[in-house]
Amino acid sequence: MTTRSRGVRCVVESMNYSACGHVPGDAFEVDQDGLRITQGQGFCFFAIAAVLPLLKGRISEADPEEWLAGRPVVMCPDPAESLRMRLEPLGVSRP
């Protein structure tokens, strides 16, 4: 039996430069259990803070992937850095 994961992956898509050392493809995930960052890797807390308010209440919606269909982009608050992060559903997981 498969179940849909109710979560979001936030992936660095592009930037002018990264003060925090990020490269395209770096990511973090948020689901009903909390925040996950790849072991041994950090993630800019300002970038995370830009994403979290957008997720409030949406992860627990009946169909959380509906609002992610357009794969929205979120910007880090540092304008010069211009770090773009793409939001996408975590996908399907098996129990």
Q: What is the pLDDT of residues 13-56, one digit of tens each?
A: 999 998 888 999 999 999 888 899 987 788 999 999 999 888 87
Q: Does residue 78 register a pLDDT over 50?
A: yes
**For the chain, what percent of residues have pLDDT higher than 90?**
38
| Residue 20 backbone phi and psi in degrees, to 5 | -100, 0
pTM over cut 0.75: yes
CA-wise closest residue to 83 among 45, 39, 30, 56:
45
**Which phi and psi (to 5°) does residue 3 adopt?**
-130, 150
Return d(Cα 47, Cα 77) in angstroms, integer: 7
Quick count: other Cβ atoms within 10 Å of Cβ 47?
24
Q: What is the mean pLDDT of the chain?
A: 81
Q: Which domain holds residue 17?
A: 3-93
Specify the pLDDT at position 63: 62
Q: What is the DSSP string of 14-77?
A: E-S--TT---TT-EEEEETTEEEE-TT----HHHHHHHHHHHTTTTTSSSTTSTTTT--EEE-S
The number of folded domains in the chain is 1
Q: What is the pLDDT of residue 64?
A: 56
